[in-house]
Amino acid sequence: MKTHMVFAVILSAWVLWHDVSVHHGDASRLAGPTYEVASFETQAACVTEQHVAMALEARPREGPRTEQLSDGIKVWDETGRYFTTFRYLCWPSAGGRVPFR
């Protein structure tokens, strides 16, 4: 009698990415990391966590120099010459490089 073992691997289908970027006022990116925050089985679960993360990121940075973005926030420095973005994006795990602009 032959016994066959079957291994199943469940891969997360969606990844929540976080991008923190410093930009010159003309929008050219100067520096900043992009990294994976968490993996999710569904897009809906990822989007739910994206909204939670965006709210937590924005709360301590609220003020007159903060602008809301569709995927996070933009905070200008005191001189108005530079800004930092704090962005979150759900992206398929097999989708390749995440397209932060």
Per-residue pLDDT tens for 2-38? Answer: 655 544 445 569 999 999 999 999 888 999 999 999 9
Asked if the structure places residue 49 within a domain, the reply is yes
In the predicted model, what is the mean pLDDT of residues 31-53?
Answer: 95
Tell me the average pLDDT across 32-54.
Answer: 95
Domain count, the chain: 1
Range of the domain at 50: 14-92
Task: Quote the pLDDT of residue 5.
Answer: 55
Q: Is residue 97 part of a domain?
A: no
Residue 5 included in any domain: no
Is residue 86 a part of any domain in this protein? yes
Query: Which pLDDT score is estimated for 98?
Result: 80
With CA atoms as reference, report the closest residue to 14 among 91, 71, 87: 91
Residue 67 and residue 3: Cα distance in Å, rounded? 61
Beta bridge partners of 51: none
* Residue 38 forms part of a structural domain: yes
The pTM of the full predicted model, rounded to 2 decimals, is 0.80
Does residue 2 fall inside a structural domain?
A: no
